[in-house]
Structure 1
Amino acid sequence: MSQKPILPDDSPIEPVNLRDALEERYLAYALSTIMGRALPDVRDGLKPVHRRILYAMRELKLDPDSGYKKCAKIVGEVMGNYHPHGDQAIYDALVRLAQDFAVRYPMVDGQGNFGNIDGDNAAAMRYTESRLTETATLLLDGIDDDTVDFRPTYDGTNNEPVVLPAAFPNLLANGSSGIAVGMATNIPPHNAEELCNALLHLIKHPNATIEKLVEYIPGPDFPTGGVIVEPREQILEAYRTGRGGFRLRAKWEREDLGRGGYQIVITEVPYQVQKSKLVERIAELMSERKLPLLGDVRDESAEEIRLVLEPKTRTVDHILLMESLFKLTELEIRFGLNMNVLSGGQIPNVLSLRDVLWQWLEHRIEVLVRRSNHRLQKIEHRLEVLAGYLIAFLNIDEVIRIVRFEDQPKAKLIETFELTDVQAEAILNLRLRALSKLEEIQIRAEHDKLSAERDSLKALLASEDLQWTKVAEEIKETRERYSKKTDLGRRRSSFAETPTIEVDLDQAFVEKEPVTVILSEKGWVRTLKGHVDDLSKLDFKQGDKLKRAFHAHTTDKILMFATNGKFFTLEASQLPGGRGHGEPVRLMVDFEDNHDIVTAFVYQPGRRLLVASTAGYGFIVPEDEVVAATRKGKQVLNVSEPDEAKLVVPVEGDRIATVGDNRRLLIFETQEVNEMTRGKGVILQRFRDGGLSDVKAFDAETGLTWVDSANRTFTMSLDDLADWVGARAQAGRTVPPRFPRSNSFGPAFG
């Protein structure tokens, strides 16, 4: 038997669509998270919890010149009166406002253990004490002068400010981060003096461009320093759109230890990176053999950060060592920029740098106007009272008689002297000691002074220019207080460009030494120490001889071109050395038995190569595209039997010369040859019989050069070669006199 549900008022059950109910409730939760927890207000740069902490501390009279109070009392005050959430959450927010390594301009002056950059937590709130800083008082300045709106607290027993007056550009100066529902914010801290300079420029030039503002605000200024290596174009784009990021590196220097030894000392780590975890991560990578250049890491920090890195050997390049560390550890981070904030405390949106600055200025104008109106009302009230006092002094005997003998002195005073209710009340509250001639003089002086102030306030409220001038004066005072000449205001993060070097950790540990690479006709390869020029005493296996010899270094890559059109890549440091005959290339790379090595040479990034087959087909390929990543090589020139890959030569010039087995020479422009990464290519020269013998690229200005069998060099200018100049794919003409019988221009790679 089913039981009827019991309802409080026994009203009928109303069916509700589950989808609608979920959407309504989740939307309410999302809005609450966005507006009440995660996103800061663009005007004061604070989230509700931080705003409530500062306001509660002000109510407790914890000014910078007062004594400290226990954090437990402050947290209790905040939780009981303004912020009905967990005490630990409130204390964590309070602690962060006091950490000079977490907040660029701390809002709380803490006494006791408030944590450290190693990630250690603060002591319990019953042990720590705190009070407000000068920066916090700037944010709160004028809050009693009706400058901002107040709203009831969660229980309706108190009122709290909707936003703070914020005489300090806190949003950009201290930054903010938070994750809401479907949106997030991440704003880095900036230098206060730079912000003030940009604000003053924006007041003078409301349509200022981002490029101009970035001249004043070149980038963030993190409390832990560091070096910003983000390119200026990317910084401009980030500030223009409100989205982007900044690459931030640790600051380091090289310390020489004598006899060629050195160590790296890190003095600043990136923002929000815990030093102890950073050291642990570096040690972990060393144990995993992922940092072959690093020998040891030590933390010698005391008050100042000092991380010492020792290279594996003294020959390790310090730039290469640091680049490898930046690549693999949090010595380099990317701090994201997402200026998603609440405009007017209501609308979440992503703002540009200019919009953030301008909305803060508009807030300051509103604060100024409200403060001036509030002061004007106070002055008007006081002048009204003073006017009543003056009437009383001029008619003191009659006033005394009325007060002494009339049944309703207040009404009689108003009727007799045409006073207002406020004036009559003030006269009745006068003390006898104030009825002196001296007091009358003081009242007249105060009346004149307040009248002058009233006139100036009315002029201020009537003139927009005067209002902007007043705001500019306040910004200048803030700029002076946070000048870069002061310890708090000095810029901590610097700017630099990243070194233009590629970090190959597999090669980084190889010591750079000169070698000579020897390749034999039968495909045996070896290296000799040093750059050897006299190769007459080289020994080869029976029936074998020298095919190619060239100078290299142990850090170089060696490219080998095979007759099947494939390129193979070998590391010079891994080639066999010693007095033997070396090893067959076939043991090092995989290629078919019926093919052979055409030539070998040192890889040069950025160079262009011309590859060609015996049939006279070829094309130009960037050398970076032929580097092979595996033993199987990289297919570049497509050839089909009986044709084979014949030549590879560097392309450095605007003309190409080809010569065939039939001793016919053709010269044409380099631009007639296609640039590709793989294929058969285009016909370079046509042959009736035989095939392509040699190719050379040269400049028209210097002419065509070749070397004969006696090692003599000949050069012919392009004018002298006019008979051989034509278009690609022609047959050419018989070679000029004294051209080598070998049909070769000489070594292609020197």
Structure 2
Amino acid sequence: MSSETPPTDPGDVRAAQVTNARIEDEMEQSYIDYAMSVIAGRALPDVRDGLKPVHRRILYAMHEAGVTSGAAHRKSSSIVGETMGDYHPHGDSAIYDTLARMAQDFSMRYPLVDGQGNFGSVDGDPPAAMRYTEARMSPIAEELLADIERDTVDFESNYDDRLEEPAVLPAAFPNLLVNGSSGIAVGMSTNVPPHNLGEVIDATVELIENPGATVEDLMDHVKGPDFPTGANIVGRNAVHEAYKTGRGRIRVRAEFEVDEEEGRIVITELPFQQNKSRLVERIAEDVTDGTIEGIRDLRDESDRDGIRIVVDLTRDAVADVVKNQLLESHLERTFGVINLALVDGSPQVLDLKETLEHYVDHRREVVRRRSRHELTEREDRAHILEGRLKALENVDDVVETIQDSDDRSAARAALEHDYGFSEAQAEHIVRMQLGSLTSLETREIESEYAGVVDRIERLETILQDADELDAVIVDELESIKSAYDDERRTSFIEDTGTVTHEDLIPEAEYVVTMSEDDYIKRMPLETFRAQNRGGKGVIGADLKRGDRVSSVFVANSHDYLLVVTNHGQIYRLKTYEIPELSRTARGKSAVNLLDLDDGEEIEAVVNTADLDDDEFLTMVTRDGYIKRTSVEAFENIQSTGIRAIRLEDGDELVDVEVTDGTRHIVIGSRDGMAIRFDESDVRPMGRTARGVIGMDLEPGDAVAGVAAIDEDRHNWVLTVTENGYGKRSDLDEYRPQSRNGKGLVDIKTGSRNGSVVAIEAVTHGDHLVAMSGDGQIVRTRIEEISTVSRNTMGVIVMNLEPDDEVAAVDIVPESAYADDA
């Protein structure tokens, strides 16, 4: 039986080296490792110098190669090659793209590379190939590397352990805020805007001198981002939010001028990182497809002196509307601030104070290490000078001792033994030349020694006194500010809100019509030129068979309207929300705009632009009731409307006027009666009240409308009948009565005139817009209608076709049509 141990099965050996692991755990750990590599090694800047590894390595490679601001430019391919070969093995294209960006004055607020050649443009043109361009460090970039040889920062091995590279640069100014940074890591991103150097340094000095300064205190110095392309920041609230929380959304608007005399808009500055060429193309595309109207030509006249894009407007264009259209889609962008940076290797979102605090801490460490390094050098030098001075005091004996020695080693030993020199001092003395023993040389050594001793004392003070160390930092910051500071490029403008759809609608007067079948539309007022009295007018609506016009009114496109219906409901509507259609169009169904019930029709429209809180809506019903309600009761109107008056069965709301408590009220009936009384006779009531009797109607009669007359504004009472007749009468023709009376005869009705359709208060310059049930519209000057007494027949206002009748009227004040007259 053999005593030897049987050989081990190779399979068993392999099995012993296998560790079981859950695949989800392995994937999780591997992904975390990858994510942290991207976060720390590529995508995020260090809060101390504001640089990502690739930026830092390019600058350090240029520094080591001597490609400084005072040296000649060197081929970019050479710089890229040295950076890639020694420090950054990630491909030449990535390195060159970074190098090119650091040379672009439209990308960097203070470029770190001085480029020569084509390094790209604001039009999005790529840089020329690296073999054609040349570069060197810019002067301000050298401030980031100043004192790097003086043990100011830690160094680490490069990727192949052949060389060492700095883990961070000394950074004599807060580069993270000054030049900003952007990058996308795994699960996070950074987007720090650039700032004005002088403002950031002032804030840094403030924080050093007043550590208790708040973010608000620092914002007294840092007004906001300062983009290399200028433009305007809209409002300050978003900037303050970004500085306080590290996150925010800042609206940046192009700089432009609207020249109404020349009929053009000139754009001179663009938001940061906006592609100029693509902007011009997109505007042209929108003009071509009709998204933007009013532009006849678009030119890019930019040159080396700056951006200039000229937008020529059509003759009938409204400059403000075109401007707002451009703002909505092209001339305003949002810069999302994410102040994320690496703090001790970990990503953190920082507010303004925290960002500067980390920089100041870094700068203190740099100055402290630099001072220690210099102190050691100075102490070593002082030690040597002390030896030289001691040797000069005993020059004859020292020379004799050296002469009597067999060799240098013996001489050094003798000096150390006989005179107490240190090894370093003895070595230096042995190597001294005889020429240094002159009296002049002695005075120079004494002077140098005194200076070295003073400097040692100063360095010891800096290292022992924190205030002195901070004073050094402040002095150096102020020096950099004086050398590189410039004026802000980005301005602030007032935040008037974002461009809304309303801003894109030209202001104009429109005639709005509605039919009994709830078809509604608007048409430009100038479509209907004023005619002489008695004209037929022009077609205003092509109604379907059996449909009739129920109401017509005139409003500005930007007016907020209170739409009052015969059911006593009030709806709110913007004029521009009503479809704009041609005269011959039928209109669109009103159910898309208003939640109307069956049989509910618009009877009156009130323009909210004319309303004050101390005014009233004065309403009259078909059966003669009148009610006044404060306009404050109608501030919050839902899409389903709000009740304005409680109606009795069979009664309907007929008309509404805006009053102020001092008006004369004239109610007209369909049979031609009218009653006048003071508005104060009707006490104010709530929305759900029915009101009081305003006019005692004869059986079969009904209210046609109400006029609220201001004696300082209105001259006449206008009455229009369904057969197209009308008249003007002086207010004095209607003697005041108490409400609830039968009134006086206003106009004779009958087979010729027909019933009264409307009663209105009018003045000089007003126009009457009348629409027939079949869709004809006529616009007539008020002065065309004769002024006659009450109880008369009136004159023809609108010449109607057989079986047609006036359905609705509205009064247009002179101010509304002055531009198209």
Q: CA deviation at 1:155?
A: 1.1
C-alpha distance 746-255 of structure 1, shift in aligned 2 (>3 A):
closer
Report what 1:544 is aligned to. Answer: none
Report what 2:388 is aligned to. Answer: 389
Report what 2:236 is aligned to. Answer: 232
Match runs of 1:201-216 below 5 Å: 201-216=206-221
Equivalent residue for 1:716, pick from 660, 670, 678: 678
* Counterparts of 1:255 and 1:744, CA distance in 2: 46
* Counterparts of 1:669 and 1:72, CA distance in 2: 78
Report what 2:470 is aligned to. Answer: 468
Determine if the alignment matches structure 1 residue 423 to structure 2 residue 422: no
Determine if the alignment matches structure 1 residue 219 to structure 2 residue 216: no
Report what 2:750 is aligned to. Answer: none
Q: Do 2:502 and 2:558's aligned partners in 1 also have CA atoms closer than 8 Å?
A: no
Tell me which amino acid in the other structure corresponds to 2:339: M
Q: Which moved more, 1:470-479 or 1:682-691?
A: 682-691
Tell me which amino acid in the other structure corresponds to 1:179: I
Determine if the alignment matches structure 1 residue 253 to structure 2 residue 203: no
Equivalent residue for 1:455, pick from 448, 454, 457: 457
Determine if the alignment matches structure 1 residue 492 to structure 2 residue 459: no
User: 1:165-184 CA distances to partner (integer Å, 9 max, x unpaired)?
Assistant: 11122112111111111111
C-alpha distance 610-264 of structure 1, shift in aligned 2 (>3 A):
closer
User: 1:267-301 CA distances to partner (integer Å, 9 max, x unpaired)?
Assistant: 33332233333333333333333333211222333
Q: CA deviation at 1:160?
A: 0.7
Tell me which amino acid in the other structure corresponds to 2:474: A
Match runs of 1:104-123 below 5 Å: 104-123=109-128
Q: Do 1:265 and 1:306's aligned partners in 2 also have CA atoms closer than 8 Å?
A: no
Partner SS for 1:143: coil
C-alpha distance 303-674 of structure 1, shift in aligned 2 (>3 A):
closer
Report what 1:519 is aligned to. Answer: none
Tell me which amino acid in the other structure corresponds to 1:415: H
Report what 1:410 is aligned to. Answer: 412
Partner SS for 1:166: coil
Match runs of 1:308-347 below 5 Å: 308-329=309-330, 331-344=331-344, 346-347=345-346
Report what 1:632 is aligned to. Answer: 589
Tell me which amino acid in the other structure corresponds to 2:553: A
C-alpha distance 573-219 of structure 1, shift in aligned 2 (>3 A):
farther
* Counterparts of 2:448 and 2:332, CA distance in 1: 63
Q: Which moved more, 1:272-281 or 1:176-185?
A: 272-281
Report what 1:600 is aligned to. Answer: 553
Q: Do 1:238 and 1:244's aligned partners in 2 also have CA atoms closer than 8 Å?
A: yes
Q: Do 1:234 and 1:244's aligned partners in 2 also have CA atoms closer than 8 Å?
A: yes
Partner SS for 1:216: coil
Q: CA deviation at 1:387?
A: 1.7
Report what 1:570 is aligned to. Answer: 522
Q: CA deviation at 1:622?
A: 3.3
C-alpha distance 136-9 of structure 1, shift in aligned 2 (>3 A):
farther
Unaligned runs of 5+ in 2: 1-8, 580-586, 696-737, 745-755, 762-808, 812-821
Q: Do 1:567 and 1:627's aligned partners in 2 also have CA atoms closer than 8 Å?
A: no
* Counterparts of 1:421 and 1:449, CA distance in 2: 24
Equivalent residue for 1:63, pick from 58, 68, 73: 68
Q: CA deviation at 1:570?
A: 1.9
Report what 2:583 is aligned to. Answer: none
* Counterparts of 1:271 and 1:35, CA distance in 2: 27
Partner SS for 1:29: helix
C-alpha distance 55-237 of structure 1, shift in aligned 2 (>3 A):
same
C-alpha distance 744-428 of structure 1, shift in aligned 2 (>3 A):
same
Q: Do 1:39 and 1:185's aligned partners in 2 also have CA atoms closer than 8 Å?
A: yes
Q: CA deviation at 1:335?
A: 2.3
Equivalent residue for 1:434, pick from 430, 433, 436: 436
% identical equivalent positions: 35
Q: Do 2:197 and 2:481's aligned partners in 1 also have CA atoms closer than 8 Å?
A: yes
Q: Do 2:560 and 2:575's aligned partners in 1 also have CA atoms closer than 8 Å?
A: no
Q: Do 2:301 and 2:310's aligned partners in 1 also have CA atoms closer than 8 Å?
A: no
Max radius of gyration: which structure? Answer: 2
Report what 2:539 is aligned to. Answer: 583
Partner SS for 1:729: coil
Q: Do 2:371 and 2:463's aligned partners in 1 also have CA atoms closer than 8 Å?
A: yes
Q: CA deviation at 1:494?
A: 2.6
Q: Which moved more, 1:388-397 or 1:25-34?
A: 388-397
Report what 1:369 is aligned to. Answer: 368
Q: Do 1:83 and 1:154's aligned partners in 2 also have CA atoms closer than 8 Å?
A: yes
Q: CA deviation at 1:86?
A: 0.9
* Counterparts of 1:10 and 1:678, CA distance in 2: 75
* Counterparts of 1:174 and 1:115, CA distance in 2: 19
Q: How many residues align?
A: 680
Partner SS for 2:425: helix
Q: CA deviation at 1:69?
A: 2.0
Q: Do 1:113 and 1:123's aligned partners in 2 also have CA atoms closer than 8 Å?
A: yes
Report what 2:77 is aligned to. Answer: 72
Report what 1:548 is aligned to. Answer: none
* Counterparts of 1:10 and 1:62, CA distance in 2: 57
* Counterparts of 2:383 and 2:103, CA distance in 1: 46
C-alpha distance 254-404 of structure 1, shift in aligned 2 (>3 A):
same
* Counterparts of 1:38 and 1:234, CA distance in 2: 25
Partner SS for 1:67: coil
Match runs of 1:78-97 below 5 Å: 78-97=83-102
Q: Do 1:607 and 1:624's aligned partners in 2 also have CA atoms closer than 8 Å?
A: yes
Report what 1:301 is aligned to. Answer: 302
Partner SS for 1:426: helix
User: 1:418-476 CA distances to partner (integer Å, 9 max, x unpaired)?
Assistant: 33333233323323322333322222222221111111222222222222222221121
TM-score when scaled to structure 1?
A: 0.81
TM-score when scaled to structure 2?
A: 0.74
Q: Which moved more, 1:680-689 or 1:597-606?
A: 680-689
Tell me which amino acid in the other structure corresponds to 2:176: L
Report what 1:398 is aligned to. Answer: 397
Q: Do 2:615 and 2:660's aligned partners in 1 also have CA atoms closer than 8 Å?
A: yes
Unaligned runs of 5+ in 1: 484-488, 513-554
Q: Do 2:563 and 2:602's aligned partners in 1 also have CA atoms closer than 8 Å?
A: no
Q: Do 1:661 and 1:743's aligned partners in 2 also have CA atoms closer than 8 Å?
A: no
* Counterparts of 2:14 and 2:437, CA distance in 1: 69
* Counterparts of 1:605 and 1:504, CA distance in 2: 7
C-alpha distance 314-688 of structure 1, shift in aligned 2 (>3 A):
closer
* Counterparts of 2:135 and 2:629, CA distance in 1: 83
* Counterparts of 1:567 and 1:425, CA distance in 2: 109
Q: Do 1:569 and 1:627's aligned partners in 2 also have CA atoms closer than 8 Å?
A: no
Q: Do 1:639 and 1:645's aligned partners in 2 also have CA atoms closer than 8 Å?
A: no
* Counterparts of 2:742 and 2:358, CA distance in 1: 80
Q: Do 2:321 and 2:504's aligned partners in 1 also have CA atoms closer than 8 Å?
A: no
Tell me which amino acid in the other structure corresponds to 1:568: I
Q: Do 1:176 and 1:188's aligned partners in 2 also have CA atoms closer than 8 Å?
A: yes
Q: Do 2:572 and 2:639's aligned partners in 1 also have CA atoms closer than 8 Å?
A: no
C-alpha distance 558-29 of structure 1, shift in aligned 2 (>3 A):
farther
Q: Do 2:302 and 2:309's aligned partners in 1 also have CA atoms closer than 8 Å?
A: no
* Counterparts of 1:322 and 1:734, CA distance in 2: 51
Q: Do 2:685 and 2:691's aligned partners in 1 also have CA atoms closer than 8 Å?
A: no
* Counterparts of 2:630 and 2:328, CA distance in 1: 44
Q: Do 2:625 and 2:690's aligned partners in 1 also have CA atoms closer than 8 Å?
A: no
C-alpha distance 674-613 of structure 1, shift in aligned 2 (>3 A):
farther
C-alpha distance 20-744 of structure 1, shift in aligned 2 (>3 A):
same
C-alpha distance 27-746 of structure 1, shift in aligned 2 (>3 A):
same
Equivalent residue for 1:623, pick from 573, 586, 591: 573
C-alpha distance 160-715 of structure 1, shift in aligned 2 (>3 A):
farther
Q: CA deviation at 1:117?
A: 2.5
* Counterparts of 1:74 and 1:692, CA distance in 2: 85
Report what 1:268 is aligned to. Answer: 269
Equivalent residue for 1:178, pick from 177, 183, 208: 183
* Counterparts of 1:51 and 1:79, CA distance in 2: 12
Q: Which moved more, 1:347-356 or 1:296-305?
A: 296-305
